[in-house]
Structure 1
Amino acid sequence: MAGSTPTIEASDLSALFSLVARGDQEAFGKLYDAVSGPVLGLVITILRDPAQSEEVAQEVFVELWRTAARYRSDRGSAMNWVLTLAHRRAVDRIRSTTAAANREHRAALLDQSPAYDEVSEQVEARLERQQVRRCMKTLTELQHQSVTLAYYRGLTYREVAELLGSPLGTVKTRLRDGLIRLRDCLGVTV
């Protein structure tokens, strides 16, 4: 291929790794020239974003410089080791980007739907109180007094009867009738 970087044999790449492991910058330059095209090509194929691909390729070369001593020729070719490293870095970037996007999406959903809407709760409670007051006005005087004393003041049926000077059976009947009328007025189904 005219105009391309000369192909380096696999044994030469292994030798370059040995030199890079000892800190040889010139050998690293040659290694870079030999594998940068395939590394960038693989990373772009996986990420499909040129800017991120260049960042990941740069990370791969930094890691190659730092970990060149870990390369073992008996486990595979130098090019396969480099491309495996590049593939892992690209997949890690996808996972990281996806996880960040998912976190942002969940955070946005939390911002959109508050767990508790205090204003609507207050409005709803106020409307319920108004409806109960309106329905309480439909009760007879004895029903109204009996319900108020028993359910708002917490008195027993006997205490209500004594306070109102009415027989216990009458108070129980008026309470039952009053509660039935409230239930019907409030539209509560049994």
Structure 2
Amino acid sequence: MGESARRYLLLADEDLLSLVERRDPDAFAALYDRHSRAAYSLAYRMMGERQAAEDLVQDAFLKVWRSAGSYRAERGSVRTWILSILHNRGIDQLRAQASRLRTRERLEASSEKTQPSEAFSETLRSSQREQVREAMSTLPPEQLKILELAYFSGYTHTEIAELLGLPLGTVKGRMRLGLKKIKEYFESRDLAVPK
């Protein structure tokens, strides 16, 4: 250990922080050595995982490097200040994670909703298109609207319920009835029923 490195070990946290404010890398290294273990301990308790805790410590100390001039001794010790930076950054990261998780769950949930069958959609594009249109024209308007939204516009049951201001069960019920009537229409004319 060199003479200058030993000198940093003897400095108080506040003095080290003043040097960090002036962009002194050795002072920053000394501050990091002194407080990184406590910071990691808090980060690990917050994040519950080693890599995430290490990343959080790095993020917090980067903020310390950039914001050394914002430290105020009257608000607490340098260690308390560093740990509060880490705590705030950790809370931000956990919120962002939770938000990403909620978004992913929403996307997964909407894709799991009963989607119009590919085969039925294909039928609409085939030679039976006119027959299907004719069958649909026999439906009551409330069933027709739901089937059109589902099969022609690609909306999920949940989206249709929101669009029309109806309970989800009503949407599913009307869709079932509509499909049943179309099937009966095809069977009564000895036509192949779209699958």
TM-score range, shorter chain: 0.5 to 0.7
- The Cα offsets for residues 73-96 of structure 1, whole Å up to 9 and x where unpaired, read as 122111111111111111212111
Number of residue pairs the alignment of both structures matches: 126
Select between 122-131 and 82-91 the one with higher mean Cα deviation.
122-131
For 1:114 and 1:56, the matched residues in 2 are separated by 41
Q: Deviations over 1:75-126 (max 9, x none)?
A: 2111111111111111212111111111111111111115656839585342
CA distance in 2: counterparts of 1:70 and 1:125, whole angstroms: 72
Match of 2:27 in 1: 27
* Unmatched runs of 5 consecutive residues or more in structure 2: 1-8, 122-146, 152-178, 191-195
Match of 1:96 in 2: 96
1:44 has 2:100 as partner: no
Q: CA RMSD in A?
A: 2.7
In structure 1, what residue type is equivalent to 2:102? N
1:124 aligns with 2:180: yes
Question: Structure 1: where are the runs of 5+ without partners?
Answer: 1-7, 135-190
Residues 1-190 of structure 1: matches in 2 within 5 Å? 12-114=12-114, 119=120, 121=147, 123-130=179-186
Q: Distance in 2 between matches of 1:17 and 1:115?
A: 59
SS at match of 2:32: helix
What's the CA shift for 1:129? 2.6
Which has more radius of gyration? 1
Higher RCO structure (Cα 8 Å, ≥6 apart): 1
Distance 2:55 2:76 in 1: 26
Report sequence identity in percent: 28
TM-score between the two structures when normalised by the length of structure 1: 0.58
Q: Distance in 2 between matches of 1:98 and 1:77?
A: 31
Q: Secondary structure at the match of 1:23?
A: coil
**1:42-78 C-alpha deviation (Å, 9 max, x unpaired):** 0001111101000011001111100111101122111
With structure 2 as the length reference, what TM-score do the two structures score?
A: 0.57
TM superposition shift of 1:23: 0.5
Q: Give the equivalent residue in structure 1 for 2:156.
A: none
